[in-house]
Amino acid sequence: MAEVKQVTIWARGVTQDMEGRHLSLLVANSADKDGKFVQAWDDYADLPDRVGVPLRKYARISEEEIEMRYEYENKQPNVVIVMDDTIIKGMDILHGMPKGGVLVVNSKRSADDLLKFIPNKELLSSITVVDASGIAADVAVDFMGSEGGVEVAAVGKGISAPLAGAASKATGLLKLESVVAVAANKEGVKQGAEAAKVKKL
Amino acid sequence: MSDFKFKIPKHLEVPMGAVIPAPVKENPGMITGNWRTERPVIDHEACTLCLNCFIFCPDACWHLDEKTEKMMWNARYCKGCMICVNECPADCLTPQNELDFPKGVVRLDKPF
């Protein structure tokens, strides 16, 4: 079996629940557009979410068919995307990460500022910081759920768009054109990829 | 009949009712400090010890330290709901971003 790239997304409960789900969908849908095999889902153990609870959203990307069908958690995430920078203080976000992982953080702060709060930073090969909340600040956010299982609203309107752009720049897993093609906020994806500062460690 | 005894095997002899050790002050199994994005910072000079923060806090994170006569805050359980900031009549509480403080790290492997 070819290596399956695991992407774990950390988001705050309720306020970022929809955008976190959209980010995992953007990662999976854009890789799907490149002809890869993908999976995207929410973490069942984190539900029901309360305001501010750290939530996990997952995506998997593989060149070959993914056979990890009944594993509901990403035990060894290669890419970790954090949608709120204060989560890195409260959670061991790099839990289970193999050496050489990639971290993408939505923050106004510098990468060195954030690395102070990560004790196991030797696992990382690079850290990327993008101010996605600033880029998508004027976008109205709704808290629509996905009870029906199908996204009614367009995917990638808020802060998920710039973060997906930053993730494509940081990881190289996704092509920027395909992320732009699947996201609703196309300008936000481009701005996020431009504004993202990648720091090699 | 008064000296009747049930024949209970030794290994099944248990006290009547379940004995559960209740947490006296803190429950380490339900730490919620990592839900917080902002924390309330107290200005002890302006504080009038009205105990409104103690009364309104849903997680009992504020208590009066009687020795120093100062309100003490519990970082391990404060969810950052900012109800205390709203209810403070002396305006001595201000919300401040969590990453401004190097201390008070609550790092868990699972969200809760």
Render B11-60 in DSSP notation, one character per residue. GG---SS------SS--TTS--GGG-SEEEEE-TTT-----HHHHH-TT-
- Residue among B74, B78, B77 at smallest CA distance from B64: B74
Q: In chain B, what's the furthest Cα-to-Cα distance?
A: 73
The count of structural domains within chain B is 1
Percent of chain A with pLDDT over 90: 66
Lowest model confidence (mean pLDDT) among A193-197, B32-36, B50-54:
B32-36
Asked whether residue B56 is domain-assigned, the answer is yes
pLDDT attached to residue B13: 72
The count of structural domains within chain A is 1
Asked whether residue B11 is domain-assigned, the answer is no
Taking the C-alpha atoms of residue B37 and residue B22, their distance in angstroms, rounded to an integer, is: 29
Instruction: Count the alpha carbons within 13 Å of B19 in the hemisphere toward its beta carbon.
Output: 3
Contacts of B109 in chain A (CB under 8 A): 91-92, 95
A81, A5 Cβ separation under 8 angstroms: no
Q: Which residue of B has its CA nearest to A10?
A: B111
Question: Would the pLDDT of A198 be above 90?
Answer: yes
Lowest model confidence (mean pLDDT) among A113-117, A130-134, A153-157:
A153-157
What sign does the CA torsion over A137, A140, A143, A149 have? Answer: negative
Asked whether residue B44 is domain-assigned, the answer is yes
pLDDT attached to residue B7: 80
Asked whether residue B39 is domain-assigned, the answer is yes
Question: Would the pLDDT of A128 be above 60?
Answer: yes
Identify the CATH number of the domain in which residue B46 sits: 3.30.70.20
pLDDT attached to residue B21: 66
Lowest model confidence (mean pLDDT) among A24-28, B26-30, B34-38, B88-92:
B26-30
Lowest model confidence (mean pLDDT) among A10-14, A40-44, A109-113, A139-143:
A139-143
Asked whether residue B47 is domain-assigned, the answer is yes
| Token pair listed for A160 | 């998920």
Average pLDDT over residues B7-17: 74
Asked whether residue B40 is domain-assigned, the answer is yes
Contacts of A91 in chain B (CB under 8 A): 34, 107-109, 111
pLDDT attached to residue A140: 67
Question: Domain range holding A44?
Answer: 5-138+145-200
For residue A169, give Cα distances in angstroms to A49, A77, A99, B53.
30, 18, 20, 46
Question: Domain range holding B41?
Answer: 31-100
What's the pTM?
0.86
Contacts of B107 in chain A (CB under 8 A): 89-92, 119
Residues 6+ apart with CB under 8 A from A189: A156, A161, A162, A164, A165, A176, A179, A180, A183
pLDDT attached to residue A15: 86
b/e string for A107-120 if b means 16 or more Cβ within 10 A?
Answer: bebebeebbebbee
Taking the C-alpha atoms of residue A105 and residue A10, their distance in angstroms, rounded to an integer, is: 10
pLDDT in tens, A63-81: 999 988 788 899 999 999 9
Q: Is the Cβ pair A87, B34 closer than 8 Å? A: yes
Chains A, B: CB contacts within 8 A come to 58
Q: Any chain B CB within 8 A of the CB of A76?
A: no
pLDDT in tens, B64-77: 999 999 999 999 89
Q: Is the Cβ pair A90, B108 closer than 8 Å? A: yes
Q: What is the DSSP letter of B108?
A: B
pLDDT attached to residue A156: 85
Identify the CATH number of the domain in which residue A153 sits: 3.40.920.10
Residue type, A181: A
Residues 18-37 of B with CB under 8 A from A: 33-37
Question: Would the pLDDT of A149 be above 60?
Answer: no
Average pLDDT over residues B32-41: 92
Q: Any chain B CB within 8 A of the CB of A12?
A: yes
- Nearest Cβ partner for A84 among B33, B37, B106: B37
Question: Would the pLDDT of A147 be above 80?
Answer: no
